[in-house]
Amino acid sequence: MEEEKILRKLFLGFIHIHILHHAKEHPIYGSWMLEELRGHGYSISSGTLYPILHNMEEEALLYKEEKNVGGKIRKYYTTTEKGNVVLIEARKKAYELFKEIKD
Ligand SMILES: [Zn+2]
């Protein structure tokens, strides 16, 4: 459906902001972030989220650390200084937009 495609594109931006926000508070990993986003009503698959995390790491918005958790390697991501600059700007814009459209 065309509307769904457009919404997905919009939500991708929101999802990036969620990731930067949470990874700034504490290191996050994929399945934790999936649950978080689902709690906000986004139906996103790991096949969509994981490449986003990977790209954000390549863009130096996130810093990756691998930790051994019960014999399994888990990738943890933390927001970098650059990611934080982006988050602050995105937050400003999101708030500005929210104020305008909320009613
Ligand atoms: Zn969130």
Express each pLDDT in 14-63 by its tens digit.
999 999 999 999 999 999 999 999 999 998 999 999 999 999 999 999 99
Averaged pLDDT, 90-103: 93
Ligand 1 centroid vs 37 CA: distance in angstroms? Answer: 6
* pLDDT beyond 90 at 88: yes
- Which pTM was predicted? 0.91
76 in Cβ contact with 67 (< 8 Å): yes
CA 79 from centroid of its chain's CA atoms? 10
Q: Scanning the structure block, which residue is given the tokens 């689902």?
A: 38
14 in Cβ contact with 37 (< 8 Å): no
Whole-angstrom Cα Rg for the chain: 15
Ligand 1 centroid vs 36 CA: distance in angstroms? Answer: 6
Ligand 1 centroid vs 103 CA: distance in angstroms? Answer: 23
Ligand 1 centroid vs 18 CA: distance in angstroms? Answer: 5
The two tokens of residue 95 are 């708030």
